[in-house]
Chains A and B, each alone.
Chain A
């Protein structure tokens, strides 16, 4: 950062502190930060691409009589059917009933960030803006984590149902032995033909994408989108001319895979490999066949100053409901078992890490690991 930029950043930090010196200034600081946060969040979480957010107000919700909680009642389409009859015949009656489900709300809240105003002045970059960005990203990560846990629950629930009501191990061994039904979860082509049940993630094959689509197509649903990690997506660039024809290998060698569709599916790729773990590829229908993502309160940004201590925090209130559990399936690019049976003891490699472990730092500066490694004493 140049001297001029550093000076501007220090001025920005100073200006931010000065605004907090009056109630009107605090409100202005809150409003400025609030507007900025909304723009950033729309880009961040992959759940918001799979399930476009719907903003709700109190008027759209019901209140529980047991506690002060709000819930959105979601309706599912009723069942109906037809059959052939004789001229003298008739069909039986269906007393109409549409299933309903409740979507309750919860809060995602960032850590409270605190700093003395004196120490804030020591930064040569606009740390308050960096914090605003980071708080927003933190919230988006939790949205994705909740979503990922729930889509995994959907596919595992269907696996249990189709395997006689019992959780059944799904690894290379059980697939080759034919002792498991691959209904909502399927091993990838290379994984199912490996020789050991382990956590090694095989490159995604074109057939894996087709198989994922077919799992959904078999249910009178249309596959629309797939979700995979960036490392898994990178393997698409290594598909040969047998899978892609002549042109694409030329392009991928120089520019990477450019299309925004893969085998007629839209795809989302994410670098959040601690949330969507490598080797897990999910396929979805359109949102209207799957579920909802509701926003009750957009992210609110709180900033306050008590004496010389400045505090920042942000939170939002959302809900999500995955009402049609058959609208999502998964292809696993590894041979080990990721079901709740966890027969290989490797399931933790394929589930989102805990909230506490999210956002681990890459740098090791605080541990003194940097190069060239010098120590400057002031």
Chain B
């Protein structure tokens, strides 16, 4: 199945969220013809030069993010992003979104399957639609040292979207 165009949507008032545009360490990830191009709903963090990189190693399925990461709010191949080499992330303040980029069954490290509302979520490399993404998997709670990036507000329905909100201490 091809990757849907809309892999993530914000469902809260976006004016209450601080969005920021940061330069990408690898601008080619914005190009839609890149085999591992970025999709909205993936999770990014900062490198030592304050540039955005994927929070996990996208080449290694099950690789978990260990640093604080941020939700990418951008459709695949967004033209303004290609023009300026920057991507918009949800940077500060709370938000709620629905996303397709998660693996409910995956157990990464000390994590757990996604089963309940308000369960913690962490960023990790998942396989979906025939390719890898830095998406969401279930957090294992107190025994899991990986950072919680979001919590479940609605388990995935028939449309495939899981609803999430920013974790207050992510």
Contact = CB atoms under 8 A, between A and B. Distances in A.
Contacts of B78: 67, 69
Range class of the A interface residue count:
10 to 19
Contacts of B83: 104-106, 319
Interface string A142-169: 0000100000000000000000000000
B142 to A, nearest CB: 38
Contacts of A104: 79-80, 82-83
A214 B75 CA distance: 45
B158 interface: no
Contact of A107 (B32, B75, B77, B80): B80
A44 to B, nearest CB: 19
Contacts of A105: 79-80, 83
A106 B75 contact: no
Interface string A90-112: 00000000000010111100000
A64 interface: yes
B84 A66 contact: no
Nearest to B78: A67
B76 interface: yes
A192 B84 CA distance: 34
B5 interface: yes
A71 interface: yes
A142 B130 CA distance: 40
Nearest to A321: B83
A67 B84 contact: no
A107 B75 CA distance: 16
Interface in A156-205: none
B77 A66 contact: yes
A64 B79 contact: yes
Interface of B: 5, 32, 75-80, 82-84
Given A71-B79, A104-B83, A106-B84, 8 more contacts: A64-B79, A66-B5, A67-B76, A67-B78, A69-B79, A104-B82, A105-B80, A319-B83
